């Protein structure tokens, strides 16, 4: 029997013994995503048990080295594990910016001490991270950022503001770009700092969005003391770390689970159309609607197949490279197209987003549609992705 077959048998046996029955199958009680962090509360004892066992096995992030809380599995073994989990209808719900973005950047740039301090706490879900990149006036032109860090003894003193910091109000730590040399060319005066959100002088103010949700914040640093030991990579070389992390972010946005699907998203486009057209069986009465649903679903399938092919070819822990921008661009625009169609199919129900008298699924759908506007902005706008594709994938002149 090949090593991989032996591993498959062992994995199957381990899952059989350790995955609670309630965490398996189509109706399993697992949430799509658990973001982790000190504030996370898991009410279901079986979910907690499953998480504890996955963490002990290193299988929340099977490809990371064991000494950093991972499972030390090869790409092929990780794939077998994913297949075996999928075969019994289970998954590891832990997912976070730490897993998808910061962890891979730390593996590449952090000191051994930093890796041993931070990676295991990401893998166990103990610490939830947020991303302090954007500032008022520095979004697409990120390198123009102004949040300052000045050395004082063994610390930096950080003063300034970040904006659009997703989940800053519920995160434990923030990875942050700060200016450590104001006289150098803009890309060469930036450092990458890890900051505990409980440090004195850090505050986060939620921003309420069009959709009514408040997933991100303004984050303020008012003379915050951060140990120099929390700087990743050399002083003023933070842009290299920032860029590596952005590649991981785009890879995540191109294919990670992203946001948990809610209510209405569980109905297919066809089901929504059947419900709103009162056509429970047979072909839908409107040919144009039929064609549009078919086109959208074919595009989704083609995207998934292409992504799978690229992911299979990519090495574990590494992003896709600048090609990730093509995937991010396409998926965010396809997501908007699909959300628009879903809204139109919802008919009059698509006009509402609040009120107890309305169907909860339709309200969710409206909120999802409103939120979908953000997907072509976050992680770099579509125009910025096009610039990257032009320059770094196609090699065209500026
Ligand atoms: C839901 C959401 C979550 C986010 N989460 C985070 C987070 O956790 N942490 C964080 O740091 N940031 C976060 N962001 C911020 C995000 O990274 C920025 O919004 C994004 O980079 C765009 O920057 P901006 O909003 O300042 O727009 P601007 O940079 O001001 O852009 C305005 C417009 O000008 C266009 N434009 C700008 N420059 C160029 C150019 N060179 N060529 C062509 N067109 C150009 C843009 O495409 C856009 O249409 C989040 C944003 C959203 C929407």
CATH 2.40.110.10, domain 129-236, yes or no: yes
The better pLDDT of the pair 354, 325 is held by 325
Half-sphere exposure of 264 (CA within 13 A, CB side): 27
Ranges of H-type helices in the chain: 3-18, 45-57, 75-87, 97, 103-109, 112-123, 238-255, 269-277, 287-313, 324-345, 360-372, 382-388
Residue 146 to residue 137: CA distance in whole angstroms: 9
Which helix (H) or strand (E) element contains residue 173?
Answer: strand 173-179
pLDDT digits (tens, 9 = 90+) for 161-199: 999 999 999 999 999 999 999 999 999 999 999 999 999
pLDDT digits (tens, 9 = 90+) for 76-87: 899 899 999 999
Ligand 1 centre to CA of 221 (Å) is 21
pLDDT at 200: 98
In the DSSP assignment, the letter for residue 12 is: H
What residue spans define the domains of the chain? 3-94, 129-236, 261-393
> What would the two tokens of residue 179 be?
């200016």
Nearest-CA residue for ligand 1 atom 51 is: 378
CB of 161 shorter than 6 A to ligand 1: no
pLDDT at 259: 37
CB of 199 shorter than 6 A to ligand 1: no
Looking from the CA of residue 137, the nearest atom of ligand 1 is 26
CB of 129 shorter than 6 A to ligand 1: no
Looking from the CA of residue 380, the nearest atom of ligand 1 is 21
Q: Would you state the CATH architecture of domain 3-94?
A: Orthogonal Bundle (1.10)
pLDDT digits (tens, 9 = 90+) for 345-369: 988 877 777 777 666 677 778 888 8
CB of 140 shorter than 6 A to ligand 1: yes
pLDDT band at 319 (very low <50, low <70, confident <90, very high): low
What is residue 168's three-state secondary structure? helix
> DSSP of 231-282, one letter per residue?
EESSTTBHHHHHHHHHHHHHHHHHHS--SPP-GGGGS-HHHHHHHHHT--SS
Q: Residue 109 pLDDT more than 50?
A: yes
CB of 222 shorter than 6 A to ligand 1: no
Q: Which of 77, 84, 135, 249 is catalytic?
A: 249
CATH number of 261-393: 1.20.140.10
Residue 265 — left, alpha, or beta (φ > 0 → left; ψ -120 to 50 → alpha)? Answer: alpha
Residue 174 to residue 128: CA distance in whole angstroms: 9
Q: Is 218 a catalytic residue?
A: no
Instruction: Give the count of beta carbons closer than 10 Å to the beta carbon of residue 376.
Output: 18
The better pLDDT of the pair 316, 28 is held by 28
Percent pLDDT > 70 in the chain is 93
Do 45 and 57 touch, CB atoms closer than 8 A? no
Ligand 1 centre to CA of 378 (Å) is 6
Residue 31 to residue 36: CA distance in whole angstroms: 12
pTM higher than 0.85, yes or no?
yes
CB of 385 shorter than 6 A to ligand 1: no
pLDDT at 258: 37
């Amino acid at each position: 029997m090949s090593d991989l077959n032996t591993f498959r048998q062992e994995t199957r046996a381990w899952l059989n013994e350790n995955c609670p029955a309630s965490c398996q199958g189509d109706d399993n009680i697992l949430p799509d995503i658990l973001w982790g962090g000190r504030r996370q509360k898991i009410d279901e004892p079986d979910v907690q048990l499953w998480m504890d066992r996955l963490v002990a096995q290193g299988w929340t992030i099977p490809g990371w080295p064991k000494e950093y809380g991972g499972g030390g599995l090869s790409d092929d073994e990780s794939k077998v594990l994913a297949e075996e989990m999928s075969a019994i209808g289970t998954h590891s719900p832990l997912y976070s910016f730490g897993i998808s973005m910061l962890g891979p950047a730390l593996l590449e740039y952090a000191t051994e001490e930093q890796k041993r301090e931070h990676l295991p706490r990401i893998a166990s879900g103990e610490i939830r991270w947020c991303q302090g990149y954007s500032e008022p006036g520095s979004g697409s032109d990120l390198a123009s950022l102004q949040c300052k860090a000045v050395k004082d003894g063994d610390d930096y003193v950080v003063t300034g503001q970040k904006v659009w910091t997703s989940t800053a109000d519920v995160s434990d730590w923030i990875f942050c770009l700060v200016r450590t040399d104001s006289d150098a060319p803009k890309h060469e005066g930036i450092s990458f700092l890890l900051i505990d959100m409980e440090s004195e002088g850090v505050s986060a103010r939620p921003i309420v969005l069009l959709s009514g949700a408040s997933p991100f914040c303004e984050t303020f640093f008012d003379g915050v003391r951060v140990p120099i030991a929390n700087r990743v990579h050399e002083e003023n070389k933070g842009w290299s770390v920032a860029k590596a992390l952005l590649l991981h972010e785009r890879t995540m946005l191109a294919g990670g689970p992203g946001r948990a699907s809610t209510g209405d998203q569980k109905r297919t486009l066809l089901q929504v159309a059947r419900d709103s057209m009162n056509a429970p069986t047979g072909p839908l009465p409107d040919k144009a609607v039929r064609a549009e649903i078919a086109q959208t679903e074919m595009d989704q399938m083609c995207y998934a197949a292409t992504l799978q092919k690229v992911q299979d070819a990519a090495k574990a822990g590494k992003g896709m490279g600048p090609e990730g921008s093509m995937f991010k661009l396409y998926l965010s625009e396809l997501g908007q197209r699909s959300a628009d169609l879903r809204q139109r199919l919802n008919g009059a129900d698509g006009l509402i987003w609040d009120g107890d008298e309305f169907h909860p699924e339709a309200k969710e759908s409206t909120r999802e549609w409103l939120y979908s506007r953000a997907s072509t902005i976050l992680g770099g706008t579509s125009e910025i992705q096009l610039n990257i594709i032009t320059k770094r994938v196609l090699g065209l002149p500026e």
